[in-house]
Amino acid sequence: MPSDCQQVTATSDGGLDESALSLLLCESMAPLDPSAPPHAGLRSRLLRRVGESARRHAGLITIRANDGAWLAVKAGIRAKLLREGPHGASALIEFAPAATLPAHRHHYLEEGIVLRGRLQLGDLDLLPGDYHISPPGSRHGRISSREGGLAYLRGTSLGSTTAVLGEVLGGLLPGNGPPFHTVFAREDSWERVAEGIEQKILWRDGDVVSRLVRLAAGGRLPAHVHDGEEECIMLSGDAFFGDLLVQAGDFHLAPPGSEHGVSTTDGGALAFFRGREILPLPRRA
């Protein structure tokens, strides 16, 4: 009850006024000791979760859209290397309007997706979302962009002066080599693989699959481990791979043996993946 000097007044209808009610509520609340065991336990649980997250992310590589350095390839064309591997590099390549690349013959299996603008490959006019793959030994004539464009490449010789020179010299030889393969964004070849998740198969290379994965808002992929390397670039939207947020334009690489927690998206996402089929994570004791 209030002390003698703290009068509780009543309203005209017999109830307590606001100040009196606040006074009674405050007097009934006991202070909390921040050093009490429940808080210590919360801190311990948070630190444990941080440690587990760091362990799961060990080995994962994420290059944000604004990270990395752009290097000049030739006048009007620049590239940003994302990773280098035994079967070529992954990179972004940007064309200024009217820029061109000379004829060349591919040393590696090269995949490309137009991210912005348009690219012209001979008679092909590639738009955003269009996918194009060039087998080893295949020859491209001049590649140009009338209005400018940006593309993601996997299996490119960019980054190696010797390899690029070899491809340009190979482009001078007659014969086109193996045929190309193109999947246009307008092609409606999506298949539902789970609630809120669709995929479009682009290319199969043994047990390795290149595909687009589309997650609707609220879509979820199960936790999984990778028995082989998996490469990803987020084309639009964003998603959490476990605790790791990957946004549009980000490049993500998961090495063999690495794991992802449950992957979710609040607003929807579209990503390119190349790797083996995912395996379910075993339950932990």
- Of 32-36, 177-181, 240-244, give the lowest mean pLDDT range: 32-36
Spatial contact of 200 and 211, defined as CB atoms under 8 Å apart: yes
Q: What pLDDT score does 59 carry?
A: 81
**Residue percentage of the chain with pLDDT more than 90:** 65
Q: Which of 221, 210, 31 is nearest to 110 (CA)?
A: 210
In the numeric block, the tokens 């040393």 are attached to 107
pLDDT at 53: 63
Q: What is the pLDDT of residue 52?
A: 67
Place of tokens 């390397």: 229
Query: For residues 41 and 49, is the Cβ–Cβ distance under 8 A?
Result: no
Query: Do the strands 244-247 and 230-241 form a parallel or antiparallel pair, or are they unpaired?
Result: antiparallel
Going by C-beta distance under 8 Å and a sequence separation of 6 or more, which residues neighbour residue 218?
196, 264, 265, 266
pLDDT of residue 56: 67
Residue 63: name the closest of 241, 234, 252, 237 by CA. Answer: 252
Name the CATH code of domain 189-280 (choices 1.10.274.10, 1.10.3720.10, 2.60.120.10, 3.40.190.10): 2.60.120.10
Lowest-confidence segment of 111-115, 199-203, 222-226, 268-272 by average pLDDT: 222-226
Where do we find the tokens 């080599």?
A: 177
The SS3 of residue 248 is: coil
**CATH architecture assignment, domain 71-183:** Sandwich (2.60)
Categorize the per-residue pLDDT at 283 as very low, low, confident or very high, splitting at 50, 70 and 90.
Answer: very low
Write the CB contacts of 139 (distance below 8 Å, at least 6 apart in sequence): 103, 104, 105, 106, 170, 171, 173, 175, 176, 177
Q: What band does 95 get if pLDDT is binned at 50, 70 and 90?
A: very high
Q: What is the pLDDT of residues 125-134, one digit of tens each?
A: 999 999 999 9
* pLDDT tens digit sequence for 145-172: 999 999 999 999 998 999 999 999 999 9
Q: Measure Cα distances from 139 to 91, 121, 222 in Å.
A: 20, 11, 40
Query: Residue 173's pLDDT is what?
Result: 93
Q: Residue 58: name the closest of 272, 278, 248, 242 by CA.
A: 242
- Residues 238 and 245: beta-carbon distance below 8 Å: yes
Query: How does residue 36 score in pLDDT terms, banded at 50, 70 and 90?
Result: low
CA dihedral 247, 249, 250, 251 (to 10 degrees): 140
